[in-house]
Structures are given as C-alpha cells and as structure tokens.
C-alpha cells in the first residue's frame, strides 16, 4: 500500500492502480533527471581530464623541441701513466669491467683503430641485446679519440682526451647526444642528468680498472 509519500489530495484523485503508475512515472522522471545530471557531470570532468592529458603531452613534446640536444663533460684522474691508461681503454678484454652490460665488439669496416673504422658494440640491457654502432671520427694515439655512436634511439658525439698533469693522468670526456625522433628527443632532455651520471659511473669504473691493472702492455 502506498501511503505517506503523497498528499491526501493526490491519493484521493487516483485509484490505487493509477497511483502506483503515477509513482512509477514520477520516479522514472526523477531518475532521468538525476541520471542526466550525472552524465553531464561525468562528461565535464572527463573533458577536464582529457584536456590535462593533452596539455601534458604537448609540454612533453615541446621539451624535445626546445632542448633537442644533451651535452655534458666528465673527468677523472688516475695514478698511472698516460700510455698505460690509453692501453687499458683500448683493451677490449677489459671493457666489460668498466662499461656495464658490455658483451663484445665486432669490426664492420675500415682499418681498426683508424679514422673511418666502424664497429658494432653489443650490450646486455636488462636481458635485451642492444647494438650501438661506433665510427671513429678522429684519433691521436695515446692522446685522444673522437667517435660517433649511433642507435635507433639516439646519436652521440663522444670525445675522450688523456693528458698528463704534474705526473698524474687526467682523462676527460665530452658528450653531445640527440634523440632520433620527437619522443626520443624529449626523453633525452628529461633524462640528461641520468645519462651524465652513467658516464660518471663509467669513468669511475675505468679509474679502478686502470689503477688496479697488472697487465703488461709493453709501454
């Protein structure tokens, strides 16, 4: 029995069956109004969310356009001669000791260790093999070497210089990296400090390998 929800006047104007229909229709109208408001509110917030995502995506892409390159320099000093330091750096058997993930280096073309020589360097990147191509751009044996590293993700100009300062060997590296694509450029711009930190780690490892070296290179 329907009582209490409607005034006596409304109850007196309709039979119980008609009143029941009246209740169903009115409840349906209320539901439609509420549901419409709910849908409108949901769509409004959805538009805000999509707008925010679009702004973030645009900002992410703009970072790569504003700062398409990442450049940094690092250096270490070692208590060994420049000749021995150079020999250790060129020793492929020791590369895995200071380059994380290094697996092997394969000669592709050109005379090894000369300008124009091309090699593929293989790394283990969290279980996935990564290949980076190295091209020697300039080399002064025992003093410096400049290389271009290329991969699907980025290209990098890299130079390593070895000098003697008051009997101590200083090894300096300079790098300029650029992503190959809009997204990779943005990632590079955001990850610049992490990339530099990795180079600092590599050189720190190299310092230990050189100073702990016992291999005779005949220098």
**Average pLDDT score, the chain:** 81
pLDDT at 75: 97
Higher pLDDT, 153 or 117: 117
Question: Do both 128 and 194 map to the same domain?
Answer: yes
Question: Do both 152 and 191 map to the same domain?
Answer: yes
Q: Is residue 77's pLDDT more than 50?
A: yes
Question: Do both 157 and 51 map to the same domain?
Answer: no
Question: Do both 191 and 138 map to the same domain?
Answer: yes
Question: Do both 90 and 191 map to the same domain?
Answer: yes
Question: Do both 31 and 112 map to the same domain?
Answer: no
pLDDT at 185: 77
How many distinct structural domains can be found in the chain?
2
Structure tokens at 109: 């073309």
- The CATH number given to whatever domain includes residue 130 is 3.30.530.20
* Half-sphere exposure for 110 (CA within 13 Å, toward CB): 14
pLDDT at 135: 98
Rounded mean pLDDT, 105-115: 95
pLDDT grade for 22, boundaries at 50, 70 and 90? very low
Q: Is residue 96's pLDDT more than 50?
A: yes
pLDDT at 190: 74
Between the ranges 27-41, 54-68, 149-163, where is the mean pLDDT highest? Answer: 149-163
Higher pLDDT, 58 or 53: 53
Question: Do both 86 and 122 map to the same domain?
Answer: yes
Question: Do both 46 and 89 map to the same domain?
Answer: no
Question: Do both 74 and 124 map to the same domain?
Answer: yes
Q: pTM for this structure? A: 0.70
Q: In terms of residue numbers, what domain contains 185?
A: 70-211
**Gap between the Cα atoms of 158 and 149, Å rounded:** 7
Question: Do both 50 and 107 map to the same domain?
Answer: no
pLDDT at 199: 95
Rounded mean pLDDT, 86-113: 95
* Crossing angle for the helix pair 192-211 and 82-90, to the nearest 10 degrees: 120
């Amino acid at each position: 029995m329907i009582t209490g929800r409607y005034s006596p006047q409304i109850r007196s104007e309709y039979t119980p069956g008609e009143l029941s229909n009246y209740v169903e229709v009115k409840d349906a109208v209320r539901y439609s109004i509420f549901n419409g408001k709910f849908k409108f509110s949901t769509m409004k917030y959805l538009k805000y969310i999509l707008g925010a995502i679009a702004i973030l995506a645009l900002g992410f892409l703009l970072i790569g356009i504003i700062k398409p390159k990442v450049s940094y320099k690092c250096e270490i000093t070692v208590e060994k001669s420049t000749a021995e330091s150079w020999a250790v750096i060129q020793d492929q058997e020791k590369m895995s000791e200071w380059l994380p993930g290094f697996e092997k280096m394969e000669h592709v073309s050109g005379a090894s260790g000369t300008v124009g020589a091309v090699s593929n360097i293989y790394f283990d990147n969290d279980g996935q093999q990564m290949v980076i191509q190295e091209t020697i751009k300039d080399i002064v044996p025992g003093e410096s070497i400049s290389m271009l590293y290329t991969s699907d993700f980025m290209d990098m100009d890299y130079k390593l210089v070895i000098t003697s300062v008051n009997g101590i060997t200083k090894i300096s590296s300079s790098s300029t990296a650029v992503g190959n694509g809009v997204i990779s450029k943005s990632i590079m711009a955001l990850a610049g400090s992490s990339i530099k930190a990795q180079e600092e780690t590599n050189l720190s490892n190299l310092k230990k390998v050189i100073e702990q070296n016992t291999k005779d290179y005949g220098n």
